[in-house]
Amino acid sequence: MDVSALLALCQSEMAALDALQHTLEEEQRAILRFDAFQLEEMAHTKLRQLEELTAAREKRLALQTEAGLADSLHWQAWLLQAPAELRQQWQGMEKAIIRLKTLNEVNATLAQERMQFASEVLDSLRASSQAITGYGRHGNLSGTLSGSRRLGSA
């Protein structure tokens, strides 16, 4: 196997992982700020970065397949004999993937909590609005809530 080509592909994949981590960190800040516009922008950026990451991964896997190292067992055995720089790069990629999965899970949890909070606020505002619409312009009860009878006429 061409170790230098594999190393270059791993470095390219690692750069894509780093870019995605930066985007997920920005996404987390946008979630915390309730910044819907930036979240939409982040979604487009994440999609593009995931496509780039998939392309880099596919190139690396193609090289591994050419060398007969597509399955995990053969790959791990070969990797133990690979140059230290390549092993370190691989370990860095594995750690980056774990960080990305964790960060993505945290973002999903935060987004869910924020959506629930926003929903509760909207429900509260709707309830307040219903209570307020029962009063007329000068603070007295409007006719829609009291029916045809006037307040105090009973």
Residue 151 lies in a domain: no
In a domain, 143, yes or no: no
In a domain, 116, yes or no: yes
Please state the domain count of the chain.
1
The answer to whether residue 144 sits within a structural domain is no
Instruction: From 8, 93, 91, 100, select the one nearest 46 (Cα to Cα).
Output: 100
The alpha carbon of residue 23 and the mean position of all alpha carbons in its chain are separated, in whole angstroms, by 9
Instruction: Assess if residue 126 is contained within a domain.
Output: yes
- pLDDT more than 90, % of the chain: 71
Q: 70-110, pLDDT tens digit by residue?
A: 899 999 999 999 999 999 999 999 999 999 999 999 999 99
Q: What is the DSSP letter of 142?
A: P
Percent of the chain past pLDDT 70, that is, above it, reads 82
Residue 145 belongs to a domain: no
Q: Which of 80, 86, 87 is nearest to 7 (CA)?
A: 86
CB atoms within 10 A of CB 6: 21
In a domain, 146, yes or no: no
Which CATH number is 67's domain given?
A: 1.20.58.300
CB 70 within 8 A of CB 64: yes
CA distance 79 to 73: 10
pTM for the model: 0.76
Full residue range of the structural domain in which residue 57 is found: 3-134
Residue 12 lies in a domain: yes
Residue 33 main-chain phi, psi, to 5 deg: -90, 0
User: Tokens 């964790």 label which residue?
Assistant: 102
